[in-house]
Amino acid sequence: MPEKVLVTREIPQAGFGPLEGFDVTVLSEAPPERGELLGAARGAEGVLSTVTEKIDGEFMDAAGEGLKVVANMAVGYDNVDVVAARERGIVVTNTPGVLDETTADVAFMLLLAAARRLGESERVLRSGRWEWWGPKLFTGPDVWGKRLGIVGLGRIGQAVARRARGFGMEIVYHNRSRKPEAEEELGARYLELDELLRTADFVSIHTPLTDETHHLIGAEELEKMRPRAVLVNTSRGPVVDEAALADALVQGRIFAAGLDVYEEEPKVHPKLLDLENAVLAPHIGSGSIETRDKMATLAAENLAAVLRGEAPKTPIKS
Ligand code: NAP
């Protein structure tokens, strides 16, 4: 009997290649309701999940004792209870490395758009309210030559730093551990978070969401930032206190923000929605056609490897 595999969302076709030979059930394009997800889990030996599914102990128990692997189609795995998985002997895998450049593109896109007021000015143009070119119209801070502070200089953070070098930016970073190789390669200088926030013109967040990084950027941290600073978050929503950020933007305490992720996706803090100085993307960081193919393929390869009794390429070490 082929092993039962549950794919929790419709994924790119490329992801089904490695799943050939398994008994595959695919749920819908939209995120499944919790009850549907738990019902569909029953009897699954492998689950290919995405960031929208909460894969916790309840889910694992609903699947039953046969569940061997949860292959998350994302590098972040804050949606998976890795402790509950370990207790049950379930392997968890993620998709690191295949999405770095694509996600860094979106971080840099948001950085540029927020600084140079693309969202706001495009809305004016589209609504027919653009009347003339003006010497002071839609001006924002320069990006080139400025100081970029990267919080979390891992794979994606370093890919952002490489882009910033092309813009002649000075790169400073804060990270849990020092990164001597990256310092050498990127000319990046380590700073304590406090000094980074006080001196950077742009702050881009690239840590995972953990207990330590929850609300890493809150009211106090925003207060330290420069009045013309721009904050970019493509990591996970809860790393930034969204209400505090909205207040800082309303009060003009920082210049602008570019966000791809939110605390309660798909809900966005209502104050942010009304702000001209917030550029808001709907969690599209890894969303290039090529990268989503690679993510789906890697997740499926990991899942298939575990079910065949082989070592997966990218297991989560917890
Ligand atoms: P990574 O290579 O593991 O890099 C994360 C970095 O954050 C590491 O250098 C890590 O330090 C550092 N870090 C962890 N905890 C920290 C803390 N408390 N304070 C300071 N630094 C800390 O991960 P990645 O592949 O770059 O991905 C980063 C995150 O981006 C993912 O976890 C995911 O949530 C998010 N992401 C979002 C999208 C999107 O669509 N918007 C797409 C992909 C990824 P150490 O080196 O000391 O561990």
pLDDT digits (tens, 9 = 90+) for 286-298: 999 999 999 999 9
Map tokens 């190789």 to a residue: 181
Pocket test for ligand 1, best of 93, 186, 207, 314 (most atoms within 8 A of CB): 207
The predicted pLDDT at position 318 comes to 73
Kindly state whether residues 199 and 126 are assigned to the same domain: yes
Mean pLDDT taken over the chain: 98
Kindly state whether residues 235 and 294 are assigned to the same domain: no
Kindly state whether residues 56 and 135 are assigned to the same domain: no
Number of folded domains in the chain? 2
Report the atom number in ligand 1 closest to the C-alpha of 153: 9
What's the 269 CA to ligand 1 centre distance in angstroms? 23
Q: Whose CA is nearest to atom 37 of ligand 1?
A: 235
pLDDT at 45 exceeding the cut of 90: yes
Which sequence positions are flagged as catalytic?
236, 265, 283
Q: Note the pTM of the prediction, 2 decimals.
A: 0.98
- Quick: pLDDT tens for 244-283: 999 999 999 999 999 999 999 999 999 999 999 999 999 9
Kindly state whether residues 116 and 162 are assigned to the same domain: yes
Q: Whose CA is nearest to atom 14 of ligand 1?
A: 207
Residue 312 lies in a domain: no
The predicted pLDDT at position 270 comes to 98
The token pair at 105 is: 């593109």
DSSP labels, 4-51? EEEE-S---GGGGGGGTTSEEEE--SSPPPHHHHHHHHTT-SEEEE-T
How many other β-carbons are positioned within 10 Å of the β-carbon of residue 269? 21
CATH number assigned to the domain comprising residue 204: 3.40.50.720
Domain that holds residue 81: 4-96+289-307
Of the pLDDT bands very low, low, confident and very high (cuts 50, 70, 90), residue 44 is: very high
Report the atom number in ligand 1 closest to the C-alpha of 106: 41
The token pair at 94 is: 């993620």
What's the 163 CA to ligand 1 centre distance in angstroms? 17
Spell out the residues 6+ positions from residue 46 whose beta carbon is closer than 8 angstroms to its own.
3, 4, 5, 6, 22, 67, 68, 69, 70, 71, 303, 304, 306, 307
The predicted pLDDT at position 283 comes to 98
pLDDT at 304 exceeding the cut of 80: yes
Residue 318 lies in a domain: no
The predicted pLDDT at position 263 comes to 98
Residues 216-239: what's their mean pLDDT?
Answer: 98
Compute the distance between CA of residue 173 and CA of residue 179 in angstroms, rounded to an integer: 9
Q: Whose CA is nearest to atom 25 of ligand 1?
A: 155
Residues 78-107: what's their mean pLDDT?
Answer: 98
Residue 314 lies in a domain: no
The token pair at 301 is: 């390869």
Strand, helix or coil for residue 203: strand
Kindly state whether residues 10 and 29 are assigned to the same domain: yes
- Quick: pLDDT tens for 46-88: 999 999 999 999 999 999 999 999 999 999 999 999 999 999 9
The predicted pLDDT at position 122 comes to 98
What's the 133 CA to ligand 1 centre distance in angstroms? 41
- Quick: pLDDT tens for 135-159: 999 999 999 999 999 999 999 999 9
Kindly state whether residues 29 and 176 are assigned to the same domain: no
- Residue count of the chain, please give it: 318
Provide residues with CB under 6 Å of ligand 1.
75-76, 96, 99, 103, 152-157, 174-177, 206-210, 212-213, 234-236, 260-261, 283, 285-286
Kindly state whether residues 110 and 9 are assigned to the same domain: no
Residue 206 lies in a domain: yes
Residue 174 lies in a domain: yes
What are the beta bridge partners of residue 55?
80
Do the Cβ atoms of 249 and 269 come closer than 8 Å?
Answer: no
Kindly state whether residues 218 and 115 are assigned to the same domain: yes
Residue 141 lies in a domain: yes
What's the 152 CA to ligand 1 centre distance in angstroms? 6
Kindly state whether residues 82 and 127 are assigned to the same domain: no
Q: What is the DSSP letter of 2?
A: P
